[in-house]
Structure 1
Amino acid sequence: MNAVLIAVGLMLVLSLCRVHVVVALILGALAGGLVGGLGIEGSLAAFNKGLGGGATVALSYALLGAFAVAIAKSGLAHALADRALALVGRQDAGAQGGGGVKWLVLGLLLAVAVSSQNILPIHIAFIPLLVPPLLYVTSRLRLDRRLIACVLTFGLITPYMFLPVGFGGIFLNEILMANVAKGGVEVAGLSVTQAMAIPALGMLCGLLVAVLFSYRKPRDYDLGRIARTEQVDSRYSPKTLLVAGVAVAVAFAVQLWLGSMIVGALAGFVVFSVSGVVRWKEADDLFTEGMKMMAMIGFIMIAAAGFAEVMRETGHVKALVDASAALIGNSKALGALLMLLVGLLVTMGIGSSFSTVPIIAAIFVPLGVELGFGPLAIVSLVGTAGALGDAGSPASDSTLGPTAGLNVDGQHNHIWDSVVPTFLHYNLPLLAFGWLAAMIL
Structure 2
Amino acid sequence: MSTNNLTRRHVLGLGVGALALAGCGGGGGPRQAATQTGAQATAAPTTYTGPAVTLAFWNGFTGGDGPVMKKLIEQFSGENPNIKINMNVYQWADYYTKVPGAVAAGQGPDLGIMHVDSVATNAARQVVLPLDDVAKALNLTEADFSPPVWQAGVYKGARYSIPLDVHPLGMFYNKTVLSKAGLDPEKPPTTGDEYMAALEELKKAGIQGHWASPFPFTGSQQFGSLLYQHGGQAFADDASVSRFAEEPGVTALTWLVELVNKGYSPKNVGQDTDFIALQQGKTAFNWNGIWSINTLREFKDLEWGVAALPQIGSQPAAWAGSHQFVVFKQRTADDNKLAAAKVFINWISNHSLEWAKAGQVPARKSIRESAEFQALKEQAAIGTQIDDLYFPPSVAGIGDAAAAMDQAVNAAILLRKSPKDALVEAAAKADKILEANRKKYGA
TM-score band, normalised by the shorter chain? Answer: under 0.3
Structure number with the higher strand fraction is 2
TM-score after normalising by structure 2: 0.23
TM-score after normalising by structure 1: 0.23
Structure number with the higher helix fraction is 1
